[in-house]
Amino acid sequence: MLEVKLHDIGEGLTEGEIIGYFVQVGDHVTSDQPLVEVQTDKMTAEIPSPASGTVTEILFEEGDQVTVGTTLLKIDAGKENTKTKKTKQSAKKAWNTVKNKEKIILAAPYTRKIARENDIDLALIDGTGPGGRITDEDVYRFMNQAETEPAAKTLPLEIPFKGRRKQIAANMVKSFYTIPHVTHFDEVDATHLLSDQSILKKQGKPLSLTAFFIKATQLTLQEYPIFNAILDEENDIIRLQAHYHIGIAVDAKEGLIVPVIHHVEQKSMMDIHQEMKSLIEKAQTNTLSRAEITGSTFTISNAGPLGGMAATPIIHYPQTGILAFHQTKKRPVVMDDQIVIRSMMNISMSFDHRTVDGATAIQFTNRLKERLEQPAQMLVELS
């Protein structure tokens, strides 16, 4: 009898939520066939069958939280005989009896994404795929019917606190209560930055502002490596990281997630721009791989498109710092005793005060400001 367990499919994974099963007791499965879909704090993953055989037991239900190493279901990979067939048929009947009041929702992650974005309850849809699996076409068909027969919407009275949201909470609490946070605020004159971005766009080289932020941050981290470090309290060592892997905070449907651009020091701003676009798209469709969400040494958050003047970002434990870039607004500014209109942007930098002093944080942000306020000089620096 084979036991299919929840293995560690993500860095620091301790538990996951069962989204749904693709099989039922009594079903014959083949090797590598998807059996169950699990949502962790960082990704949605399908757990495949380790061998061909027959599903004999399903131990948990949709929505249950399970820890790493827990057996989710069992498969008989041996030869069939009359006795085991009868047992499996009885088990399948019993399972169906238990589940007749609670529909098993079988759907791929992308299908679920379509439903979420359109406020569709998958429990209302009858799947036409294998085993009653709901397909993309089923969701679109249901949406078309809803347009002609609109139904009243009711707001949920409870929101489940589990899956990625619960793990985000655990990570935030650990960081906040372990690291003595200090946040330094400053403002950047982004006038030249926006002008240069516009010129590049006209030349057929569109670059997002975040690409400038990432490259400027990496160059400044090279000058102030203490911020690209991890405090190893157990061994009384501050470990400076040899490479610059920048995490980008992304607001996805399932909650905050931080994909990582690795080896930023080896990449041009165009490389960073293109890779960042790909990672954000994957974050929004919940298709990031484990490698794409692990190994970051520093994190930035571009909150500007969402609005807001300032914030106190929480450090991505066990890193040393995090930068947040806020909304850019045109404001009157005094320059050379003259009032002029400039495009000003606030930045917030939280840092670990165990590792870094405030003066060093101010020096870091001052150097970062120089690069962002004179992007042409930064481009020369990269050439």
Structure confidence at residue 89 (pLDDT): 46
| Per-residue pLDDT tens digits for 34-90 | 898 887 766 677 888 889 999 999 999 888 888 888 999 999 987 544 444 444 444
**All domains in the chain, ordered by first residue:** 2-148 (2.40.50.100), 164-382 (3.30.559.10)
Give the ranges where the chain is alpha helix by DSSP (H): 82-99, 109-117, 136-148, 163-178, 191-202, 209-223, 269-284, 358-373, 375-382
Rg of the chain's alpha carbons, rounded to an integer?
A: 26
Structure confidence at residue 42 (pLDDT): 64
243 is catalytic: no
Tokens of 360: 């060093």
Determine the number of helices (DSSP H) and then strands (DSSP E) in the chain: 9, 18
Rounded CA separation 231/73 (Å):
41
Neighbours of 300 (CB within 10 A): 25
Tokens of 314: 């929480």
| Dihedrals phi, psi of 65, to nearest 5 degrees | -95, 130
Tokens of 181: 């946070």
C-alpha neighbours within 13 Å on the C-beta side of residue 123 = 7
Is residue 185 within 8 Å of residue 348, measured between CB atoms?
yes
Which of 331, 330, 273 has the alpha carbon at shortest distance from 302?
A: 273
Is residue 208 within 8 Å of residue 274, measured between CB atoms?
no
Is residue 216 within 8 Å of residue 378, measured between CB atoms?
yes
3-class state of residue 113 by DSSP: helix
Is residue 258 within 8 Å of residue 248, measured between CB atoms?
yes
CA distances from 164 to 101, 167, 334 (A): 27, 5, 46
Residue 343 forms beta bridges with which residues?
330
Is residue 166 within 8 Å of residue 14, measured between CB atoms?
no
Residue 214 forms beta bridges with which residues?
none
Which residue in 7, 243, 263, 353 is the catalytic one?
353
Structure confidence at residue 324 (pLDDT): 96
3-class state of residue 131 by DSSP: helix
What pTM value is reported for the model?
0.67
Give, for all 383 residues of the chain, the pLDDT tens digit: 899 988 765 555 677 888 888 889 999 999 888 898 887 766 677 888 889 999 999 999 888 888 888 999 999 987 544 444 444 444 344 333 333 434 567 887 778 878 877 888 888 898 888 778 888 888 888 888 766 655 555 556 687 777 778 888 888 999 999 999 999 999 999 999 999 999 999 999 899 999 999 999 999 999 999 999 999 999 999 999 999 999 999 998 878 899 999 999 999 999 999 999 999 999 988 899 989 999 999 999 999 888 888 999 999 999 999 999 999 999 999 999 999 999 999 999 999 999 999 999 999 999 999 999 999 888 878 86
Rounded CA separation 280/268 (Å):
18
Structure confidence at residue 77 (pLDDT): 87
| Dihedrals phi, psi of 184, to nearest 5 degrees | -105, 130
Tokens of 257: 């997630």
